[in-house]
Amino acid sequence: MKSFSITRAMCIVAVAAGLSASAAALAADPRPSFTPPSAASLPDTEFGKIVRQGEQIFLHTPQMAEKFVGNNLNCVSCHLDAGRRPDSAPMWAAYVLYPAYRAKNEHVNTLAERLQGCFRFSMNGKAPAADDPTLIALQSYMFWLASKAPTGVVLEGQGYRKLPPPAQKADYVRGSEVYGQYCAVCHGAQGEGQKNGKHWVFPALWGADSFNWGAGMHQIGNAAGFIKANMPLGQAGMLSDQEAWDVAYFMNAHERPQDPRYTESVAATRAKYHDSDDSLYGIEVNGHLLGSDSPPAGGRLIQAAAKPAG
């Protein structure tokens, strides 16, 4: 066993030192693995209370953070197993990577700012202030999940998987077939999700109740990586890479709430924020210009604000 650990450690050093790619290739996955603490090990302290609150916000986001959420998704809708599952952008792996530079807004983001973006885009809502109790609880939960993890290290399972480029260009018609066969049963024929009475059981994938055009999941690469590793729920891994690309394209070729950074026109907004093959915003698909008929950003929050008082 000793020789194994030396070899593995040497590979990590080789990667860190930027040595030749062939030396790095010796390690199948050079990223160290990590297991977050079990829920049962959470101490019954004042700090533990806030960690639990953070977990509840993560699981029941519209109920627990009503003022900041415009759709019916939860953080856990895209970060499975309460933010624990590898390859589902787990929270323990994210915690140790902030503060970090982000190309999306071209500066170093604190973790609080990163989470503000989740509310504005993925939750189609409004960013809480950096010191809002909602963000303090979420960060406490993440900190606890990352207990004893190394700081500044990309851990195995971090983020979503990056699939190799598809063999054939991602295709709407093939994607719709994958969708009908594997996804519609839960997410609905129109991507609208499913409710049981007032309670959401399956989240919407597009339309007014989904994430908006500014969210990371609208990028086809992110969606393909997420879907390949996590969907269909309970049968993850059954889709081929090509099927994951096709269905990700299909999902993101539908209207969703407007990008809250919208300026001037769809074309100008595309040029500023979506100028990449990874985004279909501002592209015409089946005769429809995506982004030209989007429900307003902010969803339920906007509707609530527009209601007459009393």
| Contact by Cβ (8 Å): 138, 53 | no
- Considering the rule CB under 6 A, would residue 118 count as an interface residue with ligand HEC? yes
* CB nearer ligand HEC, residue 62 or residue 282: 62
State the binding string over 178-197 for ligand HEC (x if CB under 6 A, else -).
Answer: ----xx-xxx----------
Give the DSSP H or E segment for 201.
strand 199-202
The site for ligand HEC, by CB under 6 A, has a size of 46
Q: How far apart are CA 216 and CA 249, in angstroms?
A: 14
In the complex, minimum distance from the CB of residue 50 to ligand HEC, in angstroms, rounded to a whole number:
15
Residue 264 token pair: 């001037």
- Other C-beta atoms lying within 10 Å of the C-beta of residue 8: 15
- Considering the rule CB under 6 A, would residue 76 count as an interface residue with ligand HEC? yes
Length of the chain: 310
Give strand pairing partners of 205.
none
Per DSSP bridges, beta strands 194-196 and 284-285 are unpaired
- Considering the rule CB under 6 A, would residue 297 count as an interface residue with ligand HEC? no
- Considering the rule CB under 6 A, would residue 120 count as an interface residue with ligand HEC? no
Q: Which stretch binds ligand HEC (CB under 6 A): 24-32, 163-171, 233-241, 285-293?
A: 233-241
* CB nearer ligand HEC, residue 10 or residue 102: 102
Binding residue for ligand HEC, selected from 11, 14, 64, 73, defined by CB under 6 A: 73
- Considering the rule CB under 6 A, would residue 88 count as an interface residue with ligand HEC? no
- Considering the rule CB under 6 A, would residue 72 count as an interface residue with ligand HEC? no
Give the DSSP H or E segment for 288.
strand 288-289
Chain Cα centroid distance, residue 67: 21
Q: How far apart are CA 234 and CA 127, in angstroms?
A: 32
| Contact by Cβ (8 Å): 73, 203 | yes
At residue 150, φ and ψ (nearest 5 deg) are: -70, 145
State the binding string over 203-232 for ligand HEC (x if CB under 6 A, else -).
Answer: xxx-----x---xxx----xx--xx---xx
DSSP 121: I
* CB nearer ligand HEC, residue 79 or residue 161: 79
Q: Which of residues 8-67 bind ligand HEC (CB under 6 A)?
A: 61
Write out the residues near ligand HEC by the rule CB under 6 A. 61, 73-80, 89, 93-94, 97, 114-115, 118-119, 122-123, 138, 158-159, 182-183, 185-187, 202-205, 211, 215-217, 222-223, 226-227, 231-234, 239, 247, 251
